């Protein structure tokens, strides 16, 4: 039986939620990672993915200017990186330099990949849609990578307090 409640209460039942990190070059020339829960695949052919980025984020202007970005699926071992990139702003610091997270160069776009991630996708911006307090950016995937030597389990947010970890089947 269902009991009617607020949207906020009902949405709290969504966890676990996949974690992604988008990396985009900003106006100062630094590669700025932003942690995202709101991401999705939108098409097989051509391969397209979408990310939802808040109006207040430093990454928003960078995405509009660079028109290309990397979407990374962090490994379950990368919770500290995801929390850092999701609580600090590129307006105030160079997140990659500060954390020292290992990266490798992208090959098609001007960007970097997270070397220890489960997978990385280079995307070219196709379109954007205003959706309220966030903007939906849709990118066409132009290069893809998987980690063959390291952790292959993705990172998830387990609850609304941003507790993160690996999801183990029941």
Piece in contact with ligand FMN (CB under 6 A), picked from 40-48, 57-65, 96-104, 139-147: 57-65
Write down the number of H helices and E strands in the chain.
4, 12
Indicate if the alpha-carbon torsion angle 39, 46, 141, 62 is positive or negative: negative
Piece in contact with ligand FMN (CB under 6 A), picked from 36-44, 69-77, 114-122, 136-144: 36-44
Q: How far is the CB of 70 from ligand FMN (least distance, A)?
A: 14
36 touches ligand FMN (CB under 6 A)? yes
- What separation in angstroms does the CA of 86 have from each of 21, 108, 124, 170? 9, 26, 22, 28
- What are the backbone angles phi and psi of residue 59, rounded to the nearest 5°? -60, -25
- What are the backbone angles phi and psi of residue 131, rounded to the nearest 5°? -125, 20
Q: How far is the CB of 35 from ligand FMN (least distance, A)?
A: 4
111 touches ligand FMN (CB under 6 A)? no
18 touches ligand FMN (CB under 6 A)? no
If the CB atoms of residues 57 and 154 are measured against ligand FMN, the closer one turns out to be 57
Neighbouring residues of 3: CB distance < 8 A, sequence distance ≥ 6: none
63 touches ligand FMN (CB under 6 A)? no
| Gyration radius of the chain over CA positions | 16
**Binder to ligand FMN among 23, 31, 34, 70 (CB under 6 A)?**
34
Size of the site for ligand FMN (CB under 6 A): 23
Report whether 137 contacts 50 (CB < 8 A): yes
Report whether 126 contacts 48 (CB < 8 A): yes
Q: Of all residues in this chain, which one has the CB nearest to ligand FMN in the complex?
A: 86
Name residues contacting ligand FMN, limited to 147-166 (CB under 6 A). Answer: 157, 162
The contact set with ligand FMN (CB under 6 A) reads 19, 32, 34-38, 52-54, 57-59, 83, 86-91, 134, 157, 162
């Amino acid at each position: 039986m269902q009991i009617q409640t607020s949207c906020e209460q009902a949405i709290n039942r969504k966890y676990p939620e996949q974690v992604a990190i988008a990396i985009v070059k900003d106006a100062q020339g630094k590669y700025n990672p932003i942690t995202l829960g709101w991401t999705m695949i939108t098409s097989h052919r051509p391969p397209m993915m979408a990310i939802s980025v808040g109006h207040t984020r430093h990454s928003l202007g960078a995405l509009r200017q660079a028109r290309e970005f990397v979407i990374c699926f962090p490994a379950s071992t990368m919770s500290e990186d995801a929390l850092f990139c999701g609580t600090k702003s590129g307006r105030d610091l160079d997140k990659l330099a500060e954390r020292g997270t290992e990266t490798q160069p992208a090959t098609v776009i001007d960007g970097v990949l997270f070397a220890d991630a489960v997978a990385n996708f280079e995307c070219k911006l196709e379109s954007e849609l205003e959706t309220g307090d966030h903007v939906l950016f849709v990118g066409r995937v132009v290069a893809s990578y998987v980690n063959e030597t390291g952790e292959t389990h993705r990172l998830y947010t387990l609850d609304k307090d941003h507790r993160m970890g690996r999801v183990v089947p029941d």
